[in-house]
Amino acid sequence: MSVADIRKKKASSKKKPKFLRPESWRYVRLKPNWRKPKGLDNKVRKEYSGWPARVKVGYASPKELRGLHPSGFREVMVHNVAELMKINPHLEAARIGATVGRRKRLEIVRRAKELGIHILNPRRLKQVEPQK
C-alpha cells in the first residue's frame, strides 16, 4: 500500500461523521456506541435535520483500503515462528497473539527482525535466561 493510499483513507475518514447512539448525550445509562434506531417516531431513523447522521453504506471507506492497520499493512495474527514465515513483509504486518508467552514472543520478534517483518504489538522484553 502506498503513502497516497494512506492519505486517501485519512481524508475520507475525516469527512465521515462520528456515529453516536441517539439520545446517548441525554442519558448516562446509554453508551455512545452506535445502535440502529428502531422506534416508530425516532428522529435519527426518520433522518430529521439537526440530529446525528445515520450509518449507511455510502460512508464506507474504499474497498482496497478497508480493514487495514493505520500503518498501511494488513494485520496477520501470529502464534509461532512457522506462521511468521507465511507473511509477505511488503503487504502484511504481524500481530502476536495475547496467549503467546515471553520466550516464544522473543523468538518471534527476533525472527521477524531478520525477515524484515513489521510487528504491531512488540513489547520491551528482557532476554530470557536459560534455567539451570
What is the per-residue DSSP string for 65-106?
Answer: GTT--TTSPEEEEESSHHHHTT--TTTEEEEE-TT--HHHHH
Residue 17 forms part of a structural domain: no
Enter the DSSP assignment of 121.
S
List C-alpha distances in Å: 13 to 4, 18, 41, 65, 131.
Answer: 14, 10, 30, 11, 51
Answer whether residue 57 is part of any domain. no
Per residue in 47-62, pLDDT (tens digit) is 999 999 999 998 888 8
Q: Is residue 116 part of a domain?
A: yes
Examine residue 35 and state whether it is found in any structural domain, yes or no. no
Q: Is 44 a domain residue?
A: no
Q: Is residue 81 in some structural domain?
A: yes
> What would the DSSP string read from start to end of 24-54?
TTT-TTS-SS------TT-TTTTT-TTSPPP
The whole-model pTM stands at 0.68
CA distance 30 to 17: 19
Note whether residue 13 is domain-resident. no
Residue ranges making up the domain that contains 75: 69-132
The number of distinct structural domains making up the chain is: 1
9 domain-assigned: no
3 grid coordinates: 503513502
- pLDDT per residue rounded down to tens, the chain (132 residues): 667 777 777 777 788 888 999 999 999 999 999 999 999 999 999 999 999 999 999 888 888 888 888 888 999 999 999 999 999 999 999 999 999 999 999 999 999 999 999 999 988 766 656 665
